[in-house]
Chains A and B, each alone.
Chain A
Amino acid sequence: MQIYLPIAEMSVNVFLILGMGGAVGFLSGLFGVGGGFLMTPLLIFIGVPPAVAVGTEANQIVASSVSGVLAHWRRGNVDVKMGLVLMVGGFLGSSLGVWLFSFLRGLGQIDLVISLCYVIFLGIVGGLMLIESIRAMRRRSAATPQRGKLHKHTWLHGLPLKMRFHKSKLYISALLPLSVGFFVGILSAIMGVGGGFIMVPAMIYLLGMPTVVVVGTSLFQIIFVTANVTFLQAYANQTVDIVLALLLLTGAVIGAQFGAKAGAKLHGEQLRGLLALMVLAVCGKLLLDLLITPQDVYSLGLQH
């Protein structure tokens, strides 16, 4: 069954889109990630214009983050104060990101920048995760791991504007979460992702937040940042396809249920290893596309 997407201006098979939503939803339920980093490249791959893919995916991530955050909220695993500070940074960053996106699109360089961002950030995150999970799997049979210092002091703790975050048991400069939010906001707008895959490690290693509140707080602020991206992309570029977003999230909601059930049967380290492999696979595919000589060095750009 074909359906014509009003904003993407293309005819697609409904079941293909539902299936993509379902498959990515399954993986996001399985690994507890947003899935934007899989969905946006997939949409571009089936021919959705990159601008529409990014704007629409931001819209879908709003839905999946709301869905995800509610469970964490009930368990009290959201540090609202930290989330709001991150959000302020995220708002600024994503606004700059949307502007950058429009600018690069005009130059005809947006595809390249999207690909490069994916290759660089997925490469780093996937690589680190893989190393980490291999180490963890080896360590399991060996002796108990050595405990490091609970709290290390670096120059980061000397920054001004100190704030107390009760839930995270932190007393740190607000500039830290602000800049993390800002940076991830830019990437979120350009890559069409929620940015959890960078936000979560940044929260743990850079801010030093306790793991329990990390995912909930990350999802909490992703709602606001992706809502901002959705609004700005719709307002400035008219690139949010509501029909495509609804189809994707229908599939994703169903897929996520099965994914979460399957995830409960696997070990944490195995899951992380698998996720790392998947992240690296997406990274590798995009890297190859950048390196291999294209079939046609000429391509159509904007039409107006």
Chain B
Amino acid sequence: MRRTLLIAMLAFAVTFGGLSLYGQLQRAVANQPLVADLSDHLVGITTGFSGASVLLFGAVDGKGDVAVVVRGPARNLVMHRKSRVLGVWANTHSMTFRGAPGYYAVAASGPLDEIARDRVLARNEIGVDNLKLKLPLNLASPGVAKVWRDALVRNQEEQGLYRTEVQPVSFLGARLFRARLELPANVPTGTYQVQVYLLKNGRIESAQTTPLIVSRIGIEAEIFNFAHNHAAYYGLIAIVVALVAGWLGNAAFKKS
């Protein structure tokens, strides 16, 4: 009897709580022109990790276009250029791009140049061409810097880390939209920023930023952290494992 009562109370609480949550969401949508969220805020790199796909979904108030920019954690990327030295191709020049995103992709509900003005695209770094990858002027003149920049984008694109093609954002009816964000197996770990823009008449009507964390979890994280935090012990364990494995291999060989 008491149990039934408890269940009834629980059911009531859940229903009421759910209803109030739904109400909140509705109010939020009513007040805000743009609401978006990710299906997962944490992408875990596990032993079987071979890339991930995160669903971005949301709603807009009224008509408009949506653009989504995914930026990986900023890092310093070193680029090398080869030239012939004594007949052999060797790295002879290098440039460091400071604060370049480790990953970059764009999704949009239409061609970028049609849904937004050039100035808007440039200011918000929407599209790989608008990504600010600057070199110090004393190291490279604008012309030279462009060649290096193109090389960086080309190399990152080959790795699947910069995506020059704009991915689709699809609308379900007039207000709901969704986009699939694909992360390759070699994504850098860290905190990603997913920026969602609502565009009307080529201008930004509203914007929202959602974080996405890519992190090693489980055994992958343990091995990685152990190797970095207890490097000496890791080295010793690696040696012991090899000694045992070698001995086992020999023992197995003797038997057969």
The answer to whether A and B assemble together is: yes
Q: A231 and B82 in contact (CB under 8 A), knowing A10-B185, A246-B245?
A: no
| Residues of B with C-beta under 8 A to A112 | 88, 90-91
Interface membership of chain B positions 37-53, coded 1 if the CB is closer than 8 angstroms to chain A and 0 otherwise: 00000000111111100
* Closest CB in chain B relative to A55 CB, distance in Å: 9
CA distance A297 to B79 in the complex (A): 10
| A282 contacts partner chain B, Cβ-Cβ < 8 Å | no
* Residues in A whose Cβ lies below 8 Å from that of B256: 257
Q: Given A63-B245, A234-B231, A240-B235, do A2 and B88 touch, yes or no (CB 8 Å)?
A: no
Of chain B, the residue at the smallest CB distance from A233 is: B235
A294 touches B77 (CB 8 A): no
Chain B residues with CB under 8 Å of A59's CB are: 238-239, 242
For the complex, give the distance between the alpha carbons of A9 and B190 in Å.
Answer: 13
Q: How far is the CA of A234 from the CA of B233 in the complex (A)?
A: 9
A6 B227 Cβ-Cβ under 8 A: yes
B21 contacts chain A at the CB level, 8 A cutoff: no
Judged by a CB distance under 8 angstroms, whether B148 is at the interface is: yes
A235/B235 in contact, CB under 8 A? yes
Which bucket holds chain B's interface residue count?
35 or more
**Could you tell me how many residues of chain A have their Cβ less than 8 Å away from some Cβ of chain B?**
57
Cβ of B228 < 8 Å from any Cβ of A? yes
Choose, from A64-72, A77-85, A167-175, the stretch at the interface.
Answer: A64-72
Bits for B122-158, please: 1 = Cβ < 8 Å to A, else 0: 0000000000000000000000000010011011100
Which A residues between 1 and 55 are near B, CB-CB below 8 angstroms?
2-4, 6-7, 9-11
Interface string of A229-265 (1 = CB under 8 A from B): 0111111101010110110010001001100100000
Given contacts A4-B48, A243-B223, A253-B252, contact A300 B242 (CB under 8 A): no
Chain B CB within 8 A of A141 CB: no
* Residues of chain A with a CB closer than 8 A to B48's CB: 2-4
Kindly state the separation between the CA atoms of A270 and B39 in the bound complex, as whole angstroms. Answer: 62
| Distance, CA A299 to CA B152, complexed state (A) | 8
User: Are the CB atoms of B234 and A240 closer together than 8 Å?
Assistant: yes
Q: Mark A70-106, 1 if CB is under 8 A from B, else 0.
A: 1100000000000000000000000000000000000
Q: What is the chain B residue whose CB lies nearest that of A297?
A: B82
Query: Are the CB atoms of A240 and B227 closer together than 8 Å?
Result: yes
List, in ascending order, chain B residues with CB within 8 A of A62's CB. Answer: 239, 242-243, 246
Chain B residues in 8 Å Cβ range of A302 = 78
- When chains A and B are docked, how far (Å) is the Cα of A243 from the Cα of B47? 10
A11 touches B49 (CB 8 A): yes
Distance to closest chain B CB from A181 (angstroms): 19
Instruction: Report the minimum CB–CB distance from A242 to chain B (whole Å).
Output: 5
Would you list which residues of chain B between 191 and 234 have a CB under 8 Å from chain A? 216, 219-220, 223-224, 227-228, 231-232, 234
Answer whether residue A210 sits at the interface, using C-beta atoms and an 8 A cutoff: no
The verdict on A298 contacting chain B, using a C-beta distance below 8 Å, is yes
Query: Which chain A residues lie closer than 8 Å to B216 at the CB level?
Result: 6
Q: How many A-B residue pairs have CB under 8 A?
A: 183
- Measured between beta carbons, the chain A residues less than 8 angstroms from B64 are none
Which residues of chain A are within 8 angstroms of B90 by Cβ–Cβ distance?
A: 109, 112
The reply to whether B246 and A64 form a contact with Cβ atoms under 8 Å apart is: yes
Nearest CB on B from A33, distance (A): 16
Which residues of chain B are near A65, meaning CB under 8 Å? 246
A298 touches B227 (CB 8 A): no
* Interface flag for B4 (CB, 8 Å): no
Residues of chain A within 8 A (CB-CB) of B247 are 66-67, 70
Q: Which residues of A contact B234 (CB under 8 A)?
A: 234, 238, 240, 242
> From B224, which residue of chain A is reached at the shortest CB distance?
A6
A290 touches B89 (CB 8 A): yes
* B175 contact set on A, CB distance < 8 A: none
A291 touches B87 (CB 8 A): yes
Instruction: Name the residue of chain A whose CB is nearest to the CB of B51.
Output: A11
Contact of B91 among A2, A67, A108, A249 (CB under 8 A): A108
Question: Once the chains are docked, how many angstroms separate the CA of A230 from the CA of B154?
Answer: 35
Check B1 for interface membership: any CB of A closer than 8 A: no
User: Complex: how many Å from CA A67 to CA B78?
Assistant: 41
In the docked arrangement, what's the CA distance between A253 and B242, Å?
12
Are A294 and B186 interface neighbours, CB within 8 A?
Answer: no
Residues of B within 8 A of A66 (CB): 242-243, 246-247, 249-250
Q: Say whether B77 contacts A238, CB under 8 Å.
A: no
What is the CB-to-nearest-CB distance from B107 to chain A, in angstroms, rounded to a whole number? Answer: 24
Q: Told that A249-B245, A303-B188 touch, could you supply 16 new A-B pairs with CB distance under 8 A? A: A2-B50, A11-B50, A62-B246, A63-B245, A64-B246, A67-B246, A67-B249, A67-B253, A68-B250, A230-B235, A230-B239, A238-B227, A249-B249, A298-B152, A301-B78, A303-B78
Return 23 A-B CB contacts under 8 Å, by A number. A2-B49, A2-B50, A2-B185, A6-B219, A63-B243, A64-B246, A70-B250, A108-B78, A233-B235, A234-B227, A235-B231, A235-B232, A236-B231, A242-B241, A245-B242, A253-B253, A257-B253, A293-B89, A297-B83, A300-B159, A301-B79, A301-B91, A303-B75
Which A-B residue pairs are the 10 nearest by beta carbons?
A66-B246, A234-B235, A298-B151, A301-B78, A11-B185, A253-B249, A62-B242, A63-B246, A231-B235, A63-B242
